[in-house]
């Protein structure tokens, strides 16, 4: 009887993991993904960059804390056929995150409740699961941290987890915040674990400069203006689904929520209003008390096994197919071959860098001077104040439907030299002026 129960548990966990893997295998390349690859190439050859080598805008003095994340992206890109490697990582990370979540949920609930709650979390986390980017690391590591805290006996493992996480992505700060809620409001004996975890945050190539890196991130123009990954909660379809999932889980959680979980949920809810992507972490935390309050009949093991097999086949098919070109590799190579600075939309600029070319400025935007960050964002927004950016480049590469692309189409200073359905390449008629010294 015990073996049958264990088989059922594993099938439910497997089903949640494989469904997340399928969603992750859709793999939409985000604006925060491709820049990791050229920097990872440098890290692989023993050099942690102190500036952005593929950009001509001054960036000297940048501190590359998440160099480990860049190295992993470069290795996957090189070993698994380019973009496909990044999508494989996204799919695998999603599978681990939701498999661990389902396994953690069933500790204090039944299999049916664990599966239903995991599916609600997945529905509200679609952008985080589908969009390939640097945050890929935070999804499984945050899920693992919650299991450690909910289990309590293994909370000390948060220290090595934070040490690894801190080398991969800045989402580790959210993890530390949740750990602080646990140590202060649930288990005071875990305060040494919290202190050790904070110290572990500095165990990266930049060591004591880690704080300066995060200061630069939070003071960056995108963070200040709420753009890109820093966008606030809005009335978009995905944000509305996120809000609906959060309200459902919180309504269920009220009866069984622990004090530290309630504090974490409130703080994450406030953070989600300002930065929508924080909502994924909110859903993961709210999932535990929600599952404890539910009792749902478990699906038949045979049905779950069949569904898992079908999901595995779908995931393999999507990964074998690979993602479409997120920009225009052909025009990016053409621009790179010119050997002069290119002003480009985010993903197109990364493709120029991958082709061996140079851009004026691109992600990571926080590596550059604030004045240049502001100018670049003004140009991306198609505003007149951003026109000065044209003096920093010899070519402009844009998506025709973007705000910058629509403005470029009517700019007399630009001469169209190539285009396709995804991008247009212009030559700046006036000679490019060098960036002012840093």
Q: Report residue 8's pLDDT band, with 50, 70 and 90 as the boundaries.
A: very low
Assess if residue 312 is contained within a domain: yes
Residues 295 and 358 in one domain: no
Say if residue 5's pLDDT is above 50.
Answer: no
Distance CA 206, CA 204 (A): 5
Q: Tell me what pLDDT residue 81 has.
A: 87
Say if residue 423's pLDDT is above 60.
Answer: yes
Distance CA 300, CA 243 (A): 31
Distance CA 35, CA 52 (A): 10
Summarize the confidence of residues 171-193 as an average pLDDT: 96
Residues 286 and 340 in one domain: no
Q: Tell me what pLDDT residue 430 has.
A: 62
Q: Tell me what pLDDT residue 307 has.
A: 79
Residues 62 and 86 in one domain: yes
Residues 115 and 208 in one domain: yes
Distance CA 36, CA 67 (A): 9
Q: How many CB atoms lie within 10 A of CB 4?
A: 9
Residues 13 and 67 in one domain: yes
Say if residue 9's pLDDT is above 50.
Answer: no
Q: What is the pLDDT of residues 333-371, one digit of tens each?
A: 999 999 999 999 989 999 999 999 999 999 999 999 999
Q: Report residue 421's pLDDT band, with 50, 70 and 90 as the boundaries.
A: confident
Assess if residue 175 is contained within a domain: yes
Assess if residue 56 is contained within a domain: yes
Q: What is the pLDDT of residues 80-119, one digit of tens each?
A: 989 999 999 999 999 999 999 999 999 888 888 999 999 9
Query: What values do phi and psi take at 141, rounded to 5?
Result: -70, -35
Say if residue 302's pLDDT is above 80.
Answer: no
Assess if residue 433 is contained within a domain: no
Residues 361 and 243 in one domain: no
Assess if residue 324 is contained within a domain: no
Tokens 């993961």 appear where? 284
Q: Report residue 7's pLDDT band, with 50, 70 and 90 as the boundaries.
A: very low
Distance CA 182, CA 194 (A): 9
Q: pTM score, two decimals?
A: 0.93
Residues 180 and 273 in one domain: yes
Say if residue 435's pLDDT is above 80.
Answer: no
Looking at 296, 317, 338, the residue that finishes a domain is: 317
Looking at 317, 349, 374, the residue that finishes a domain is: 317
Residues 24 and 104 in one domain: yes
Looking at 317, 352, 375, the residue that finishes a domain is: 317
Q: Which residues pair with 414 in a beta bridge?
A: 428
Q: Tell me what pLDDT residue 297 has.
A: 79
Residues 201 and 291 in one domain: yes
Q: What percent of the chain has pLDDT over 90?
A: 83
Summarize the confidence of residues 285-298 as an average pLDDT: 91
Q: Which of 245, 234, 251 is nearest to 290 (CA)?
A: 251
Q: Report residue 375's pLDDT band, with 50, 70 and 90 as the boundaries.
A: very high
Are 100 and 143 in contact, with CB atoms under 8 Å apart? yes
Q: Tell me what pLDDT residue 391 has.
A: 94
Assess if residue 434 is contained within a domain: no
Structural domain of residue 32, as residue ranges? Answer: 2-317
Residues 401 and 262 in one domain: no
Are 268 and 281 in contact, with CB atoms under 8 Å apart? yes
Give the mean pLDDT of the chain: 93
Number of domain units in the chain: 2
Residues 100 and 172 in one domain: yes
- The better pLDDT of the pair 261, 437 is held by 261
Sign of the four-CA dihedral 249, 250, 256, 258: positive
Q: Tell me what pLDDT residue 432 has.
A: 52
Say if residue 1's pLDDT is above 50.
Answer: no
Residue 402 makes CB contacts below 8 A (sequence gap 6+) with 345, 380, 382
Q: Report residue 2's pLDDT band, with 50, 70 and 90 as the boundaries.
A: very low
Q: Tell me what pLDDT residue 306 has.
A: 81
Residues 368 and 245 in one domain: no
Tokens 């198609």 appear where? 382
Assess if residue 435 is contained within a domain: no
Q: Mapping DSSP to helix (H, G, I), strand (E, B) and coil, where does residue 250 land?
A: helix
Tally the C-alpha atoms within 13 A of residue 120's C-alpha that lie toward its C-beta. 26
Assess if residue 232 is contained within a domain: yes
């Amino acid at each position: 009887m015990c073996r049958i129960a264990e088989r059922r548990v594993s099938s439910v966990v497997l089903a949640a993991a494989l469904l997340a893997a399928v969603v992750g295998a859709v793999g939409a390349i985000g604006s925060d993904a491709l820049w990791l690859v050229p920097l990872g190439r440098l890290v692989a050859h023993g050099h942690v960059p102190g500036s952005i080598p593929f950009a001509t805008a001054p960036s000297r003095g940048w501190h590359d804390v998440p160099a480990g994340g860049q190295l992993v992206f470069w290795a996957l890109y090189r070993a698994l056929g380019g973009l496909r490697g990044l999508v494989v990582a996204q799919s695998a990370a999603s599978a681990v995150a939701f498999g661990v979540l389902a396994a953690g949920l069933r500790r204090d609930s039944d299999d049916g409740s664990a599966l239903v709650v995991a599916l609600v979390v997945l529905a509200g986390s679609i952008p985080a699961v589908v969009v390939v980017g640097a945050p890929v690391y935070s999804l499984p590591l945050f899920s693992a941290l919650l299991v450690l805290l909910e289990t309590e006996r293994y909370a000390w493992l948060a220290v090595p987890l934070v040490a690894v996480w801190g080398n991969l992505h800045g989402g580790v700060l959210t993890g530390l915040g949740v750990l602080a809620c646990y140590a202060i409001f649930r288990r005071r004996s875990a305060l040494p674990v919290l202190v050790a975890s904070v110290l572990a945050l500095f165990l990266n190539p930049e060591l004591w400069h880690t704080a300066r890196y995060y200061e630069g991130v939070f003071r960056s123009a995108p963070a200040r203006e709420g753009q890109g990954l820093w966008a606030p909660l809005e009335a978009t379809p995905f944000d509305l689904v996120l809000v609906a999932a959060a309200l459902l889980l919180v309504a269920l959680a009220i009866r069984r929520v622990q004090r530290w979980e309630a504090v974490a949920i409130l703080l994450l809810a406030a953070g989600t209003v300002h930065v929508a992507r924080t909502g994924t972490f909110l859903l993961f935390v709210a999932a535990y008390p929600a599952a404890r309050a539910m009792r749902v009949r478990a699906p038949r093991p045979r049905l779950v096994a069949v569904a898992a097999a079908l999901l595995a086949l779908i995931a393999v098919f999507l990964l074998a197919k690979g993602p479409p070109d997120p920009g225009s590799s052909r025009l990016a190579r053409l621009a790179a071959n010119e050997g002069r600075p290119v002003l480009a939309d985010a993903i197109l600029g990364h493709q120029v860098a991958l082709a061996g070319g140079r851009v004026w400025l691109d992600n990571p935007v926080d590596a550059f001077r604030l004045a240049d960050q502001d100018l670049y964002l003004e140009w991306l927004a198609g505003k007149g104040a951003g026109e000065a950016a044209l003096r920093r480049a010899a070519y402009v590469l844009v998506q025709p439907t973007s705000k910058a692309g629509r403005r470029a189409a009517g700019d007399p200073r630009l001469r169209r030299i190539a285009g396709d359905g995804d991008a247009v390449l212009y030559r700046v008629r006036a000679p490019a002026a060098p960036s002012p010294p840093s």
